[in-house]
């Protein structure tokens, strides 16, 4: 049922106030299509609300995707295809897979948000990315109600990026995602040093997907704020890629800065480190702040507005640009 002038505060993990002129929740493709016919534009599809920052009210209709369901749709000798509704919580899907002994999602444990939002930014953590297990997705075009399938290639995945953040931004509601998960001969990824260290602390030498999931959950709990207690939307910026010249300049002034060498010869520098170097880590300005344990995460200390958070993000980006000549790009969708 369509309701009007609805507070979006319970629907965004940063916990800011914004009002939707119209709001409704859909639990099936059929309901979604009917909703789209009635909806006052612009239409915004919201999943878990963990990667958006509202800086103003929404003048049109917010559709909350609550399309559920998780099922095995195909079986192969060492793997299965699992199809999940776009409105499922991502971590619930990970937990379901781990309980079934399936491999492929364990490194992506405890990422907030919904299944339908996962492909939009090609979620990733601890050396894994969604695209590695992705088969296809189904999506409804907001303007027409047409249901379409997108293959992995068509999704044009990149680092925290896809077709749905680029050319097709804001035009589709992702109603289901199909993933290929291993039933045996798992391809476990423990290369990320935090994960390797945690498994060693846990006394595990031959990890299962469930062990890795547990390690990742512990790391995230220790480093990242729980939105239920401290509003946030995960990493606020992407980690920038810089050229050799910029990198050499950083290296001249800092001993042993963290970095990853990319296959294209460029260097990825953790934005959290850049922000910390500029003195922002743990700082609070009004109701917003830069998280004390991870400078890449902006937090709502209570009662923050989206504009306040965005102003802080801009101030942080300005000081990183000033000091390092690096432009930070938001990872979060600022609306």
Selected from 8, 16, 230, 296, the binder of ligand EPU by CB under 6 A is 296
Stretch 191-230: interaction string toward ligand EPU, x if CB under 6 A: --------------------------------x-------
235 given a catalytic annotation: yes
Annotated catalytic residue 106: no
Q: Is 276 in the site for ligand EPU (CB under 6 A)?
A: yes
> Are 35 and 52 spatial neighbours (Cβ–Cβ below 8 Å)?
no
Nearest to 207 by CA among 219, 198, 217: 198
Binding mask 66-105 for ligand EPU (x = CB under 6 A): ----------------------------------------
295 binds ligand EPU (CB under 6 A): yes
Residue closer to ligand EPU (CB basis): 75 or 223: 223
Nearer to ligand EPU, 175 or 239 (CB): 239
- CB neighbour list of residue 24: distance below 8 Å, 6 or more residues apart: 1, 2, 3, 35, 39, 61, 62, 63, 64
Strands 297-300 vs 172-182: parallel, antiparallel or unpaired: unpaired
Nearer residue to ligand EPU within complex by CB, 109 or 175: 109
CB nearer to ligand EPU: give 13 or 175.
13
Which of 13, 114, 294, 300 is close enough to bind ligand EPU by CB under 6 A? 294
Stretch that binds ligand EPU, among 172-180, 233-241, 242-250, 306-314 (CB under 6 A): 233-241
Active-site entry in 79, 83, 152, 160: 160
Q: Contact between 190 and ligand EPU (CB under 6 A)?
A: no
3-class secondary structure, 335: coil
**CB-wise, 65 or 239, nearer to ligand EPU?**
239
Helix %, strand %, coil % of the chain (to 5):
30, 30, 45
CB atoms near residue 266 (< 10 Å)? 16
Segment interacting with ligand EPU, rule: CB under 6 A, options 3-11, 92-100, 266-274, 315-323 = 266-274
- Centroid of chain to Cα 219: 17
- Choose the binding region for ligand EPU from 85-93, 180-188, 244-252, 270-278 (rule: CB under 6 A): 270-278
- Choose the catalytic residue: 25, 106, 138, 331: 331
CA distance 142 to 145: 6
Among 147, 270, 307, 321, binds ligand EPU (CB under 6 A): 270
29 vs 131: CA distance, rounded Å: 24
**243, 245, 247, 249: CA torsion to nearest 10:** -160
Shortest Å distance, C-beta 321 to ligand EPU = 17
Toward ligand EPU, which CB reaches closer, 13 or 180? 13
Q: How far apart are CA 100 and CA 92, in angstroms?
A: 12
Sequential DSSP letters for 84-118: EETTSBHHHHHHHHHHTT-BSSGGGTT--SBTTTT
Residue 277 burial (CB count, 10 A): 18
Near ligand EPU by CB under 6 A: residue from 87, 272, 289, 306 = 272
Q: Which residues have CB under 8 Å from 206's CB, separation 6+? A: none
Catalytic: 160? yes
Chain residues that interact with ligand EPU, rule: CB under 6 A = 125-126, 223, 234-235, 238-239, 258, 270, 272-273, 276, 281, 294-296, 331
Q: Which residues are catalytic?
A: 160, 235, 331
């Amino acid at each position: 049922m369509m309701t009007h002038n609805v507070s979006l505060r319970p629907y965004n993990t940063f916990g800011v106030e914004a009002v939707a002129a119209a709001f409704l929740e859909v639990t099936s493709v059929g309901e979604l299509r009917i909703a789209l016919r009635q909806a006052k534009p612009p239409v915004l599809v919201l999943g878990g609300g963990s990667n958006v920052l509202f800086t103003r009210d929404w003048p049109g209709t917010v559709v909350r995707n609550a399309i559920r369901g998780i099922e095995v749709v195909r079986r192969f000798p060492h793997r299965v295809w699992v199809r999940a509704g776009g409105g499922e919580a991502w971590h619930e899907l990970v937990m379901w897979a781990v309980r079934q002994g399936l491999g492929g999602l364990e490194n992506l444990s405890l990422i907030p948000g919904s299944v339908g939002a996962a492909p939009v930014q090609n979620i990733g953590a601890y050396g894994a990315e969604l695209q590695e297990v992705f088969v296809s997705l189904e999506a409804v075009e907001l303007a027409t109600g047409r249901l379409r399938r997108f293959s992995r290639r068509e999704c044009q995945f990149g680092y925290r990026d896809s077709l749905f953040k680029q050319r097709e931004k804001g035009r589709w509601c992702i109603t289901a995602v199909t993933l290929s998960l291993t039933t045996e001969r798992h391809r476990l990824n423990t290369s990320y040093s935090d994960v390797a260290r945690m498994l060693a602390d846990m006394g595990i030498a031959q990890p299962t997907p469930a062990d890795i999931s547990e390690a990742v959950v512990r790391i995230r709990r220790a480093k990242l704020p729980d939105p239920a207690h401290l509003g946030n939307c995960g990493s606020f910026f992407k980690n920038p890629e810089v050229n050799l010249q910029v990198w050499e300049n950083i290296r001249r002034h800092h001993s042993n800065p963290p970095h990853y060498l990319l296959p294209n010869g460029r260097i990825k520098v953790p934005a959290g480190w850049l922000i910390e170097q500029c003195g922002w880590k743990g700082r609070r300005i009004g109701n917003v702040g830069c998280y004390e344990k991870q400078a890449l995460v902006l937090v709502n200390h209570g009662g923050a507005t989206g504009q306040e958070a965005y102003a802080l993000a801009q101030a942080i980006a300005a000081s990183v640009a000033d000091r390092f000549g690096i432009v930070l790009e938001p990872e979060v969708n600022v609306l």
